[in-house]
Structure 1
Amino acid sequence: MLRSRGLRLTAPRQLVLESVYRLRHATPDQIHADVSERAAGVNITTVYRTLELLEELQLVTHAHLSHGAPTYHPLGEHQHAHLVCRGCGDVQELPSPTLEGLAEDLRTTRGFRLDIGHVALFGVCGNCGTEEE
């Protein structure tokens, strides 16, 4: 895809893309740490710029799964929302059909088009127990 747009597939670009696919849901700092294990010369600025380019090329996307940095994941796979545990920080994928009814309701009643890939639902996973109400 890069070459078809007149761009080079550089080693840092390939390493960042491979890291996103390997880590599944990772912040730029986590991606940088992973890339640094394979190539010490890749700095955090290169990681951020590469992530922006890969997102523009629709190879990766991001979601905000915490108050911090965005979390990147591969885009070429099935679209999904995210379940984020406030206890342990675990991120689980929620298949998009689970939210299609809500998305359709929002579209027809409010004219709102839900971007399911950017949806994050926060709560407590089964491993962390149940919340007291």
Structure 2
Amino acid sequence: MTPQRQLVLDAVSELGHATPEAICTKVQEIAPAVNITTVYRTLDLLEQLGIVRHTHLGHGAPTYATGEHEHVHLVCHRCGRVDEVDADLLDDLAGTLSARAGFTLDPTHVALSGLCAQCEADSDDPLPTSGEAHA
């Protein structure tokens, strides 16, 4: 493990769900010469080794976290809040997908989109309009 790779891994561990750009910014606090290309290559390698995983939390860059994160992400359309719930909540869906389509679900790789409890309680309109910005 090179010092640069260790810095990237440390940044992922410290930041939790972070984009490559946020990871790069964190690494550059200690090693300003490390560039975004190095961060992307290191994240790819660490993911191939099973040390980190990426998740798509909506539009934009994926976020990275250490491999021990075994949960499903719930992303609010309106405010952008991200909550985590145990992946086993999707066991029934995983079983159905396996039985009917021969598909093995990896619920830790994607996010479920909807409205958080607060946004649902604050609004009569359950979904945002196409031009509505996230808070």
- TM-score over 0.5 for the pair: yes
Partner in structure 2 of residue 89 of structure 1: 80
1:32 pairs with one of 16, 20, 24: 24
2:9 pairs with one of 17, 38, 55: 17
**1:71 maps to amino acid:** T
In structure 2, distance between residues paired with 1:126 and 1:19: 31
* Structure 1 residue runs without a partner (length 5+): 1-8
Q: Contact 2:8/2:23 (CA < 8 Å) preserved in 1? A: yes
**1:73 maps to amino acid:** A
**1:24 maps to amino acid:** G
Pick closer, same or farther for the CA change 1:88–1:11 going to 2, 3 Å. Answer: farther
Runs of 4+ in 1 over 6 A off after TM superposition: none
Give the TM-score of the pair, scaled to structure 2: 0.84
In structure 2, distance between residues paired with 1:86 and 1:15: 33
In structure 1, distance between residues paired with 2:39 and 2:28: 10
Residue deviations 1:7-42 (CA, integer Å, cap 9, x gap): xx1111011101111111111011111111222111
Note the aligned Cα RMSD (angstroms): 1.5
Partner in structure 2 of residue 4 of structure 1: none
Whether 1:50 and 2:42 are equivalent positions in the alignment is yes
Identity fraction in percent: 53
Pick closer, same or farther for the CA change 1:78–1:30 going to 2, 3 Å. Answer: closer
**1:14 maps to amino acid:** Q
Please identify, of 118-127 and 97-106, the stretch whose mean Cα deviation from structure 2 is larger: 118-127
**1:103 maps to amino acid:** A
**2:41 maps to amino acid:** R
Residue deviations 1:70-112 (CA, integer Å, cap 9, x gap): 111111x152111112233222222111011110111012211
Pick closer, same or farther for the CA change 1:55–1:114 going to 2, 3 Å. Answer: same
In structure 1, distance between residues paired with 2:57 and 2:69: 18
SS for the counterpart of 2:21 is: helix
Give the TM-score of the pair, scaled to structure 1: 0.85
What is the aligned residue count?
A: 124
Q: Contact 2:58/2:111 (CA < 8 Å) preserved in 1? A: no
* Structure 2 residue runs without a partner (length 5+): 127-135
